[in-house]
A and B are shown apart, each in its own frame.
Chain A
Amino acid sequence: MQAEPVKNWRVMGSSTITGGSYNHISVMGEAVSTGDMECQSLRVMGMFQTHANVQVGFANIMGQMDVGGQLRGQRVRVMGELTVHGDCEVEQFLSRGAFSIDGLLNAGTIDVRLYGPCHVREIGCGSLRVSLKKPFFGRMRHVLTADVIEGDDVMLTYTKAHIVRGDRIRIGLGCDIDKIEYKTEYACHPRAHVASCEQRGS
């Protein structure tokens, strides 16, 4: 067993590190990390850029975070903006902001409320829920775009995807999906656009 890391790192101005293992990281200003990094909890209020892989226990991103490699961990909460260039593998992914993931978003549960534009190449999950933010001003509508979505429980609204595969699928308002493959349950909003749908196995 490795010893518990006890170092904390707090950035109020601007700072650069080469990576390492930390207990708590809090970024209020601007921070850059150039190597692989590991921490128990991470809080970003400003801007945090990492060029390599990140392993976190709990990440709360209220500002902007940019990960060059992979993001792995337990819980990620996005209230601001998250960009991941590799894969993102977490147990719980909650978004109330915007994110863009170039690789696979692999999570146990994903809960997305569309406060901004969201892009993922591929989603693989246990349960996925996408809902629209409560209207505040105007009619600005954001969408989630993905190439492939695969999961057991999938509930979508305002999603644009090529293929959606899963066990139980519910398609809500504003979806545009080319192909659906479901196993047991399927429901579709009358105003959603689904090009083709088939049931596989049961």
Chain B
Amino acid sequence: MEQELISKKELLDLTGISYGQLYRWKRKDLIPEGWFIRKSTFTGQETFFPREKILSRIEQIKQLKDDLSLDELARRFSPDPAEIALCGEDMVKRSIVSEQAWRVYRLEHPNTKVCSFRDVVFASVVHRALASGNVGLDEARNALRTLEQSITMFSDFRMRIACVRKLGVSVWVVQSADGQFVIDPDAKLVFDADVSECIEDVKLRLL
């Protein structure tokens, strides 16, 4: 996947922030190190950013920075787990999961009342999968199982989950966040989600 890039100069012109602010936010970890992409151009080395991600991030920071301290913002944007516990009704109320997704979650874990952060994130991934409209109930349940098994590999949540279907048989794939894979041309990529994006979304809804 070739993502569209934006140069630092263009970014500053577009968003109206200054160099000082940009570097300050970087120091506070509001903008991840990995988004600073160095490339050589005819004027020497230049820094580029992934266009969509950085623009939406800066828009969010600008909106929220009046109400929250930068440290608090950093905590919200970081994919590190937060210390929370939620019950199912709360999650539905805050629209982290839909009724349907919660029911799927309960099928897998009938006795769960209170969810830890990890469970909340997984439930929200299930919700996303169902909301995409391409994934069936049984498949969503499988996704949950796959996630729970793979979490030992990716303990820091920096992973993606994808669903590939061929001839009606679907397979879930969990991979590291920047990993690439190529699928059989006859198969179809049904669903694809970045778990750290889900975490960001969950955190935004929680706070």
Segment among A54-62, A75-83, A137-145, A158-166 that sits at the interface with chain B: A158-166
Q: Are B18 and A124 in contact (CB under 8 A)?
A: no
User: Binary interface profile of B, 41-72, with partner A (CB < 8 Å = 1, else 0)?
Assistant: 00111000000000000000000000000000
Check A38 for interface membership: any CB of B closer than 8 A.
no
Asked if B27 contacts A148 (CB within 8 A), the reply is no
Question: B27 contacts A126, CB within 8 Å?
Answer: no
Complex CA–CA separation, A108 to B21 (angstroms): 9
A89 to B22, CA, bound (A): 13
State the Cβ distance, B94 to closest chain A Cβ, in Å. Answer: 25
Q: Is B19 an interface residue (CB 8 A)?
A: yes
Q: How many residues of A contact B (CB 8 A)?
A: 24
Decide: A166 and B44 in contact? CB cutoff 8 A.
no
Q: Any chain B CB within 8 A of the CB of A106?
A: yes
Partner of A163, one of B18, B23, B26, B44: B44
Verify A106–B44 contact, CB threshold 8 A: no
Chain B residues with Cβ below 8 Å from A111 are none
Which DSSP category, helix, strand, loop or mixed, fits chain B's interface?
Answer: helix
B13 at the interface (CB under 8 A from A): yes
Q: Does B24 count as interface, using CB distance less than 8 angstroms?
A: yes
Q: What's the minimum C-beta distance from B32 to chain A, rounded to whole angstroms?
A: 13
Contact with B along A167-202 (1 / 0, CB 8 A): 100000000000100000000000000000000110
Is B133 located at the chain interface by the 8 A CB criterion? Answer: no
Q: How far is the CB of A57 from chain B (nearest CB, A)?
A: 15
Chain A, residue nearest B38 (CB): A122
Q: Pick from B24, B43, B45: contact of A126, CB below 8 A.
A: B24
Q: Is B20 close to A, CB under 8 A?
A: yes
Q: Quick one: which of B9, B13, B20, B24 has the most chain A CB within 10 A?
A: B20
Q: How large is the interface on B (under 10, 10 to 19, 20 to 34, 35 or more residues)?
A: 10 to 19
Closest to A167 in B: B18
Q: Does A26 contact B (CB under 8 A)?
A: no
* Min distance, Cβ A129 to any Cβ of chain B, angstroms: 14
- Given A106, A163, A200, A201, which contacts B27 in the complex, CB threshold below 8 Å? A106
Minimum Cβ distance to chain B for residue A103 (Å): 11
Are B27 and A152 interface neighbours, CB within 8 A?
A: no
Within 8 A of B (CB), among A108-158: 108, 124-127, 147-148, 150-153
**What's the Cα separation between A124 and B19 when bound, in Å?**
7
Q: In angstroms, how far is the closest chain A Cβ from the Cβ of B13?
A: 6
A118 to B23, CA, bound (A): 21
Bound-state CA distance A179–B9 (Å) is 15
**Do residues B13 and A152 form an inter-chain contact, with CB atoms below 8 A?**
no
Contact with B along A73-99 (1 / 0, CB 8 A): 000000000000000011100000000
- Are A89 and B19 in touch, CB under 8 angstroms? no
Q: Choose from B9, B23, B43, B44 the contact partner of A125 (Cβ within 8 Å).
A: B23
21 pairs, CB–CB < 8 Å, chain A vs chain B: A108-B24, A124-B23, A125-B20, A126-B20, A147-B45, A148-B45, A150-B23, A151-B19, A151-B20, A151-B23, A152-B18, A152-B19, A152-B20, A153-B20, A162-B44, A165-B9, A166-B19, A167-B18, A167-B19, A200-B9, A201-B13
The 5 closest A-B pairs by CB, nearest first: A126-B20, A152-B20, A124-B23, A150-B19, A89-B27
